[in-house]
A and B are shown apart, each in its own frame.
Chain A
Amino acid sequence: MVSIKCVIFGCIAKEKGYFRIIKILERNPKIHLLIAGPFLHPLEQETLDYIKKKEKELKNLKVEVRKLRDDEFGKYIKKADVILLPYLSAVPASGIFSRNLKYLKPMITWNTVFFKEAEDNYGACITVNSIDELEEKILEVYKSKTLREKLRKGAKKMSKDLSWVNVAKKYLEVYNAI
């Protein structure tokens, strides 16, 4: 059976929207998910308990609660077919998203402001509005080489435009305007 490898990176938090993809895992065994990231905030204990409980129940869910080294992050991302960011609210500037960009892997995100801008301005990700649409897009990205290539080009363009040196130049304009 085909298995589509998805991953959610970043510190364990309710905001990551795990339940959205877990609902898909429960009904679609073809889709596999790795959740990898550190547990930093005690307020997120409930979230950690939830994903750990689901890991025991589902064969297609794996949870690694620890901070990944850079080389591990790269290794995991290369193995994945799709990176997921089904966040619950308007995460303003996901560091994980920016970190993922350089690997040019397809990213499917929830339709929040920051991700929508990345989709509209660069075509660097696909945004979705529902759990059904999330499942549909995971399958579509997996099947369509053309779509993956389009996302790759978008990610490349965004990475170039928003290099740290270019961002520093923008801050320099702010400093000079004071």
Chain B
Amino acid sequence: MYTTDTVGIKSIADDLANAFKEMGFDVVVSDKLDYHNFDVVHIHFDYSQFHPWGLGLIPKLIWLKLNKKKVVSTIGTILRKKDTYTRNKLFTQLKIMVLSISNPLIALFSDKVTVMVSDMKETLIEDYHLSPKKVEVVPHGVY
């Protein structure tokens, strides 16, 4: 599991990894992409960790694909275009524009994209034109 977060998203990756360990799987959580011994790389992220708004993740995804890894990308938060906000209108427009590029690219270079709420799946399909087959909903676990 790959995450560069140190609080919320990191704790999701940790809790999920612990559950997998309980089930007998070999799993690590790391902030480095060093996964030669693993079959699946599961990335947990929010756009702000890979600026500009997710585009920073694309080179890493390409690198993983070149190394023939199976990749699952879990997006923490995705809002409808109409609900997207930043510090001002100009930045909001810019963010929407970048997300319109980064989301399809994330989907292209991931084997699956997962989100935690069904409405977020609909957002990715309706607002960012991702294929419904590419996106799965897996809910947030309870502590």
- Residues on A lying within 8 angstroms of B by beta carbon are 11, 40, 43, 89-95, 98-99, 101-102, 113-114, 117, 158-159, 162-172, 174-175, 177-178
In contact, B23 and A168 (Cβ under 8 angstroms): yes
Which parts of B49-91 form the interface with A (CB within 8 Å)?
70, 72, 76-80, 83, 87
- Residues on B lying within 8 angstroms of A by beta carbon are 7-8, 11-12, 15-16, 18-20, 22-23, 40, 42, 70, 72, 76-80, 83, 87, 111-112, 114-120, 136, 138-143
In contact, B79 and A90 (Cβ under 8 angstroms): yes
30 cross-chain CB contacts under 8 A = A90-B83, A90-B117, A90-B119, A92-B120, A93-B116, A95-B8, A95-B12, A99-B143, A102-B142, A113-B119, A117-B118, A164-B16, A164-B19, A165-B19, A166-B141, A167-B138, A167-B139, A168-B16, A168-B20, A169-B23, A170-B138, A171-B16, A171-B72, A171-B114, A174-B112, A174-B138, A177-B112, A178-B40, A178-B72, A178-B112
Complex alpha-carbon distance, A167 and B70, angstroms:
19
- Given A95-B140, A99-B143, A177-B112 in contact, is the A167-B19 Cβ separation under 8 Å? yes
B15 closest partner in A (C-beta): A164
Q: CB-CB < 8 A to A93: which residues of B?
A: 76, 116-117, 139-140
- Given A167-B139, A175-B40 in contact, is the A89-B79 Cβ separation under 8 Å? yes
In contact, A92 and B77 (Cβ under 8 angstroms): yes
Complex alpha-carbon distance, A169 and B141, angstroms:
11
Contact of B142 among A40, A163, A172 (CB under 8 A): A163
Q: CB-CB < 8 A to B42: which residues of A?
A: 171, 175
